[in-house]
Structure 1
Amino acid sequence: MTSPAEQLLPSTQRSLLHRIATAQAEGRSPSMTAAVQRQRRVVWDGSRTCVDGHAPDADTQFRIGSLTKTFTAVLVLRLRDEGLLDLADPLEKHVPGTSAGDVTIHQLLGHSAGLGAESPAPWWERTPGSLRPGLVDVLGDQSRMHPPGRRHHYSNPGYTLLGALVEAVRGVSWAEMLRSEILEPLGMHRTSPQAQAPHAGGWAVHPWADVLLPEPVEDLGLMAPAGQLWSTTADLLRFAAFLAEGDDRVLSAASVAEMREPAAPPEPGDWGGYYGLGLQVIRRKGRTLIGHTGSLPGFLAALWFSVEDDVAAVAFANVTSGVLIGEVAAELVEIVAESEPRIPEPWRPLPEVDAELLALTGPWYWGTRANILRLTPGRGLELQTLNGKGRGTRFTACADGTWIGLDGYYAGEILRVVRNDDGSVNHLDLGSFVFTREPYDPSAAVPGGVDADGWRGLGS
């Protein structure tokens, strides 16, 4: 339960309930449940059902399908951070003997390995994993659809290979590593490979009549790392909080942020989002949403969070199709973010200031382009164009007195202060670009020199 101080406005709560009620009715799902988190606190949960008195709640498990892939990606990155593998490693280095041994771990994580989208028939989501006892049965004879690294092509067998990878490197099963290294540290005690009561049943609804058919629930075997898990809205909101800011018990903030970076060019025409390392990223109404969607016969699931708004939403339905679950979860985030915008933290001055750094702030010119350098916490710097358009980057301080770019055009580039013999600043060097205090300052080391006659008018 949320405390009164944490609750949303009644009008916002009604809008959220209306959205899932509409989705349940129009999508003809036997039930739906959803929850919203703001500033890492659950502020709303709700459900709708066709059976009076049997509405699911925040503790009811639903199958989450491909949301499982995000968990598998976290396991791989844990191994990378421990130095046990490199994302540039070919799969063959750790899992020999497959037809995909030359593809890299990074390509598998970002679905750019060129592998097929599905395993060979029969349909793996509706048949027992025992029909695919080995990786050769998962990959089949036609495993390559595209040259590795060229484009994004979603691949369930690719994440099966990643499951085999973590087992080979860690020496325990995928399920055991998941439990001990993600679920237990994050307190996700209602997330599991097999259903645990209370849980929803999965249903198919006839496209032209309001009648139901139960969907089979299969153990996916080797395909489990691609879509096996069951979870609850409460557990997935805990996972959303982790994905937003990291948790050193599981994965650092820097590695979690790396998961959001584009892993491969998007498919042609799909410029509204991209895939990172086990995470989907979409742009809607000027807002960036990060998360994943999932489906298995009888179940639909989605998790989205907005870092800027500090709002996350999870939505589940126990129907094979009919509900645009990703749209529903995204709209729940938008309802809260737009109805009750995040109140910014109070401005506070820096706890201390370095006079030498303070002297670097203010205007700097790259040729004739005016830029502003600002001081940020932790001896960081931020460079922006004066008009706010064009190249801008945040920099973090390095131990050797330089700064490294964190984002934008200059991400990874080194910023250095170049001084005169007397210690005064001559210019800033940013990846070989010279920034001076005046446009083409004649006293600075401007490449190509500065005309001795200086600036002039048209008639000069």
Structure 2
Amino acid sequence: MSPAERFERAVRKVQADGRIPALSVALHRADRDPWSLTVGTSGNPAHPLDADSRFRIGSVTKTFTAVLVLQARDDGLLDLDDPVSAHLDVPAHGDATIRRLLSHTAGYQREPHGNVWDTLVAPDAAGLVAELDRAERVLPTGRRFHYSNLGLAVLGQLVARLRGGTWESVLTERVLTPLGLTSTTAAAPAEAAVGYLVDAYSDAARPEPRLELGGVSPAAQLWSTATDMARWAAFLTSPETVDPDGAILAPATLEEMRWPLTTTDEAQWAAGFGLGLLLVPQGRRVVHVGHDGAMPGFLASVYGRRGGDGNPGGLGAAVLASSGTGAAMFDLVHELLAIAVEADPAEIRPWTPGEPAPAAYRSVLGPWWGEGFPHVFSWHDGTMQARAADAPAGSPPAVFRPLPDNPDILRTVSGREVGELLRLTRDEHGTVVRLHWATYRFTRGLETFDGHSPGDG
């Protein structure tokens, strides 16, 4: 069975077993043409289901708001540890920091004040901020993960104020248009699919009301296509393939967003949360990065794949469903990403000889002992690298770069001890005879902390 046939079978099974009126799915990868499939019916007589049908993506919207916040940080408009009150005039809870709100650890209650899901009327932007004193701080800040639409909505209004526009206009100008996500909009388009609630005990399906979120829009308002969302997932995981010039965000900033700040469940540790991004470990140093979403009549799951054998880079998938109860679709996005690398892995690039290590660093190469454990220092891809001798296969090395004013002091730029210094000590002939990494001494032979060999008398 070909990869495309495996994709299609998986999608059709979820649509049928989950009784989902419409399912739109797409896969994006750096080394292949995009793949997409729609199954079912849109419920929109003017626009039958196809790849251009639009679905609500719910809380996947939060990933866009998070990117806007990090853009503002990179532009010097805010600091992630600033309190909200430094940038937005709020009547309460202004001490919550931007970082805590992005990671859902600020303790804000889940929804804005009121009964939005009963009345189906959301506050406007001004009302959301003005009524913040009517919302609760249900947990002390930093206590634990507590998901909050209110928190991300506040951040969206904060960024809009800093940029001098509405959240929608800022998003369109600074993210959607530059990335070519032309099918992603805040307003419902003519191509909108109908969202349904499917009866649990019959084949009946009833359209859900269409809720406009007003001031809460930064948390869940957007409509999109699976193709746009698969591209967005690829951006979140491999920006160099979608935004090679870093016009939206620097790759280092997206790396920062992907770093887990909290687990979503302290007992299972099955998922983590970074700066606006969900992180779902898959084992063997593979993680899926993205977000799920839900709105009345719609479910969405948008993730990209980081790490692992066969990963071509720029690998993202999106599953959009027109049913509020078709929860089986949440596993489908992860299944598609796994199939992609299993059934159609990236081509293996041949190894070719490279340049040797500079003469000044050749005496560093080879095994060293530190803290009683062996490490191997090597030179690859123009950089000094180090690994523990017993490091699991696939674990990344520490990578070093020399300081501009002293080549015998190198900064750890990735991997173990990132940020720490590696100092080289040379003898009278210029040979490196000792290393200090993060202040720990590394020697060619196994030594105690006071400098003796275990075999010394």
RMSD: 2.5
Distance 1:422 1:374, change over 3 A: closer
Alignment check: 8 A CA contact 2:91 2:131 kept: no
CA separation of 1:190/1:352 partners in 2, compared to 1, >3 Å: closer, same or farther? farther
Counterpart of 1:381 in structure 2 is 384
Which position in structure 2 is the counterpart of 1:431? 438
Letter in 2 for 1:432: T
Q: Deviation of residue 347 (structure 1)?
A: 1.6
2-side partners of 1:205 and 1:37: how far apart?
A: 30
Partner of 2:279, secondary structure, is: strand
| Alpha-carbon distance change, 131 to 439 in structure 1, aligned in 2, over 3 angstroms | closer
Of 295-304 and 208-217, more deviation after overlay is shown by 208-217
Going from structure 1 to structure 2, the CA distance change for 1:254 and 1:125 (only over 3 Å counts) comes to: farther
The answer to whether the 8 A contact 1:293-1:302 is kept is yes
CA distance in 1, matches of 2:340, 2:57: 23
Corresponding residue to 2:222 among 229, 253, 261: 229
- Separation (CA, whole Å) in 2 of partners of 1:133 and 1:51: 35
When residues 75 and 377 of structure 1 are mapped into structure 2, their CA distance, relative to the original with a 3 A threshold, is same
Residues 34, 313 of structure 1: 8 Å contact kept: yes
The residue aligned with 1:35 is 26
Secondary structure at 1:134 match in 2: helix
**Does residue 1:347 correspond to 2:347, yes or no?**
no
* SS class of match (1:177): helix
Q: Which residue of 2 aligns with 1:289?
A: 288
Q: Report the CA distance between 1:125 and its aligned residue.
A: 8.8
Contact 1:265 1:274 in 2 (8 A): yes
Partner Cα separation in structure 1 for residue 64 and residue 190 of structure 2: 22
Is the 2:103–2:145 Cα contact (8 Å) retained in structure 1?
A: yes
Change (3 A) 1:409 1:146: farther
Taking the aligned partners of 1:389 and 1:204, their CA distance within structure 2 comes to 47
Verify the 8 A CA contact 1:191 1:232 in the aligned structure 2: yes
Report the more deviating stretch, 389-398 or 329-338. Answer: 389-398
Q: Distance in 2 between matches of 1:88 and 1:279?
A: 18
Structure 2 CA distance for partners of 1:406 and 1:117, relative to 1, 3 Å: farther
Q: Deviations over 1:192-221 (max 9, x none)?
A: 101222221111112222112111112211
Aligned to 1:47: 38
Residue deviations 1:50-97, cap 9 Å, x none?
A: 579976332221110000000000000011111111111111111132
Given the two structures, how large is their TM-score scaled by the length of structure 1? 0.89
Kept after mapping to 2: 8 A contact 1:47/1:55: no
Distance across 2 between alignment mates of 1:125 and 1:196: 25
2:55 and 2:320 in contact (8 A); partners too: yes
Q: Does 2:152 align with 1:149?
A: no
Aligned to 1:302: 301
Secondary structure in structure 2 of the residue aligned to 1:59: coil
Q: Which runs of 5+ in 2 are unaligned?
A: none
Matches of 1:355 and 1:125, distance apart in 2? 72
Aligned sequence identity (%): 34
* Local SS of the residue matching 1:416: strand
The alpha-carbon distance between structure 1 residues 125 and 421, as it changes in their structure 2 partners (threshold 3 A), is: farther
Structure 1: 5+ residue stretches without partners:
1-9, 441-445
Aligned with 1:282: secondary structure? strand
State how 1:4-403 maps to structure 2 within 5 Å: 11-39=2-30, 41-50=32-41, 56-124=49-117, 127-130=120-123, 133-136=126-129, 139=132, 141-246=134-239, 247=243, 248-286=246-284, 287-308=286-307, 309=311, 310=313, 311-351=315-355, 353-378=357-382, 380-388=383-391, 393-397=397-401, 398-400=403-405, 401=407, 402-403=409-410
Q: TM-score, normalised by structure 2?
A: 0.89
Q: 3-state SS of the aligned residue for 1:438?
A: coil
Cα distance, 1:131 vs structure 2:
6.9
Q: Which amino acid aligns with 1:361?
A: L
Q: Secondary structure at the match of 1:129?
A: coil
- What is the Cα deviation at residue 352 of structure 1? 5.8
